[in-house]
Amino acid sequence: MDLLYPVCLKYLGESETAKDAVMNIFEELAQKLLKYEVDNFRSWLYTLAKNHCLMQLRSARRMKTSEFDPDHMQTGEEVHLNGVFEKEHQLDKLSKCLETLSPEQKTAVELFYLQRKCYKEIETMTGLEWNKVRSYIQNGRRNLKICMDKQEPSIETIKVK
């Protein structure tokens, strides 16, 4: 390991890639030692590591990649505006249902889902116990689902009828 890692790091330049290469070389090593008779193990291992790294660099160079530009892609929602209308409808239902929650549930749900706070941060911000925060989030989510299911049917359901 002490012989291989510095060689791989020198050729590949990245720590994680070098570690992966060392693991791959160890897998190859058992097979190659059965095939070849090795007189000077250190120099043979160095050459094996160097060749492995060079092969990785060559294969990486052959793979052409291009940057993904989402502006040049169409999404299903942009092609079919029904998805946009459905999303807006769902957001309206969600905002109405948020108002039906108890103040503690509403605060906990908004902090957790909308502001992406963890339980510990919500506990600190609200002064509630960790178990209470968890309970308010779970009950709030359940109550939101019940409320949204009770509201008028979605646009897709209307279209089917």
Q: What is the CATH number of the domain that holds 106?
A: 1.10.10.10
Residues 56, 104, single domain; the answer is no
Residues 54, 25, single domain; the answer is yes
Q: Would 71 be classed as within a structural domain?
A: no
Quote the number of domains for the chain: 2
Where does the chain have alpha helices with state H? 4-12, 15-35, 41-62, 76-79, 82-98, 103-109, 119-126, 130-150, 155-160
Q: Would 114 be classed as within a structural domain?
A: yes
| pTM for this model (two decimals) | 0.44
Return mean pLDDT, the chain. 82
Contact 116, 42 (CB under 8 A): no
Residues 54, 83, single domain; the answer is no
The whole-number average pLDDT for the span 15-22 is 90
The whole-number average pLDDT for the span 60-83 is 61
Instruction: Please say if the pLDDT value at position 73 is more than 80.
Output: no
Range of the domain at 52: 4-62
Amino acid residing at 34: L
Q: Would 82 be classed as within a structural domain?
A: yes
The whole-number average pLDDT for the span 22-39 is 86
Q: Residue 25, class by beta-carbon neighbours within 10 Å (0-12 exposed, 13-18 middle, 19+ buried)?
A: buried
Residues 45, 86, single domain; the answer is no
